[in-house]
């Protein structure tokens, strides 16, 4: 285990969870706590994290909600997001729907990445604002109380004027035959519009939502360009999805 490698892992932990416990990571990496202590000390001096009694925490208290609402299956979503971020390049125009996976995506965007991001989601817009190189455009409209995203006619109208390079569709349910489905009619309309406004459609989706179906249809599988799950692309659970033009990641 190289020192640099440990540093990377530690920083990654901090990036994802906003903190790291010294004893945990020491056991996980199979080195003595002293070593981790030294690592953290170095990273602290480099101002890459903040060393505290018992471990380390992330620097920027920029995060509006340090106490983030408990996100279901966070680990899996983090893995999805890490893959999804590789699809992004400087200068792109990105469209982000709502949902916790996209929220994580916004939170974990590398600070150096230069993007123009459109989103109708209030919490995601808040996250994006903390990224120094992201220009954030809120797609306004009537806000839905529970999903915290803009819905309705005027929002659709604005979306129709956008042409984004890539769109990340927070995906509730996906099924090889039924396609992408949702239980909220208004959100279905928003997502349909987002698909229309993007050159490329990415569907980040945790594996347990594969093969599930909701009441209203957003689109067929074939309209999705890239399906990102926490599984390995060759996992046989994905076979039925990757048959068409859909790329798996």
Partner DNA sequence: TCGATATTTGCAATATTTTGCAGTTTAATT
Partner DNA sequence: AATTAAACTGCAAAATATTGCAAATATCGA
Which residues of the shown chain bind DNA in the complex (CB under 7 A)?
A: 1-3, 6, 21-23, 31-35, 37-39, 41, 51-55
Decide: is 230 part of the binding site for a second copy (CB under 8 A).
Answer: no
Q: Which of residues 141-180 bind a second copy (CB under 8 A)?
A: 141-143, 145, 148, 150, 154-155, 158
DSSP string, 70-134: PPTTHHHHHHHHHHHHTT--TTEEEEE--SHHHHHHHHHS-TT--EEEEE-BHHHHHHHHT-TTE
Minimum CB–partner distance for residue 165 and a second copy (Å): 18
The gap from C-alpha 158 to its chain's centroid, in whole angstroms, comes to 23
Selection from a second copy, DNA, none that 142 binds (CB < 5 to 8 A by kind) is a second copy
Q: Which of residues 50-69 bind a second copy (CB under 8 A)?
A: 50, 52-55, 57, 61, 65-67
Whether the CA torsion 221, 226, 229, 232 is positive or negative: it is positive
Decide: is 135 part of the binding site for a second copy (CB under 8 A).
Answer: yes
Q: Which of residues 67-106 bind a second copy (CB under 8 A)?
A: 67
* Spatial separation of the C-alpha atoms in residues 142 and 39, rounded to whole Å: 49
Minimum CB–partner distance for residue 52 and DNA (Å): 7
Decide: is 44 part of the binding site for a second copy (CB under 8 A).
Answer: no
Selection from a second copy, DNA, none that 31 binds (CB < 5 to 8 A by kind) is DNA
Minimum CB–partner distance for residue 59 and DNA (Å): 17
Minimum CB–partner distance for residue 119 and a second copy (Å): 10
Q: Which residues of 209-241 are buried (b: 16+ CB within 10 A; e: fewer)?
A: bbeeebebbbbebebbbbbbbbbeeeeeebeeb
Minimum CB–partner distance for residue 66 and DNA (Å): 16
Helix (H) or strand (E) holding 32: none
How is residue 223 written in tokens? 């309209």
Selection from a second copy, DNA, none that 66 binds (CB < 5 to 8 A by kind) is a second copy
Decide: is 42 part of the binding site for a second copy (CB under 8 A).
Answer: no
* Spatial separation of the C-alpha atoms in residues 144 and 153, rounded to whole Å: 13
Decide: is 5 part of the binding site for a second copy (CB under 8 A).
Answer: yes
Angle at 8 between CA 7 and CA 12, to 5 degrees: 115
Burial of residue 122, with CB atoms counted within 10 A of its CB: 0-12 exposed, 13-18 middle, 19 or more buried: middle
Decide: is 47 part of the binding site for a second copy (CB under 8 A).
Answer: no
Judged by CB, which is closer to DNA: 22, or 187? 22
């Amino acid at each position: 285990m190289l020192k640099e490698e440990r540093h990377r892992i530690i920083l990654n932990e901090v990036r994802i969870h906003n903190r790291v416990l010294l004893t945990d990571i020491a056991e996980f990496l199979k080195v003595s706590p002293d070593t981790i202590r030294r690592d953290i000390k170095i990273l602290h001096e480099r101002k890459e994290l903040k060393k505290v009694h018992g471990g380390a925490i992330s620097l920027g208290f920029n995060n509006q909600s340090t106490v983030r609402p408990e996100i279901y299956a966070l680990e899996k979503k983090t893995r999805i997001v890490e893959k999804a971020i590789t699809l992004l390049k400087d200068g792109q125009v990105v469209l982000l729907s709502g949902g916790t996976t996209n929220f994580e995506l916004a939170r974990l965007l590398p600070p150096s990445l230069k993007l123009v991001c459109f989103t109708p989601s209030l919490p995601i817009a808040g996250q994006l604002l903390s990224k120094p190189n992201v220009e954030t455009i809120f797609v306004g409209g009537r806000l839905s109380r529970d999903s915290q995203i803009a819905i309705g006619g005027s929002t659709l109208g604005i979306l129709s004027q956008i042409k984004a390079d890539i769109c990340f569709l927070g995906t509730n349910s996906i099924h090889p035959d039924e396609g992408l489905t949702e239980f909220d009619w208004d959100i279905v309309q928003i997502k349909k519009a987002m698909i229309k406004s993007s050159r490329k459609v990415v569907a980040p989706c945790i594996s347990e939502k594969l093969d599930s179906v909701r009441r209203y249809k957003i689109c067929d599988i074939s309209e999705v360009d890239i399906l990102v799950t926490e599984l390995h692309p060759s996992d046989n659970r994905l076979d039925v999805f990757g048959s068409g033009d859909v790329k798996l990641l």
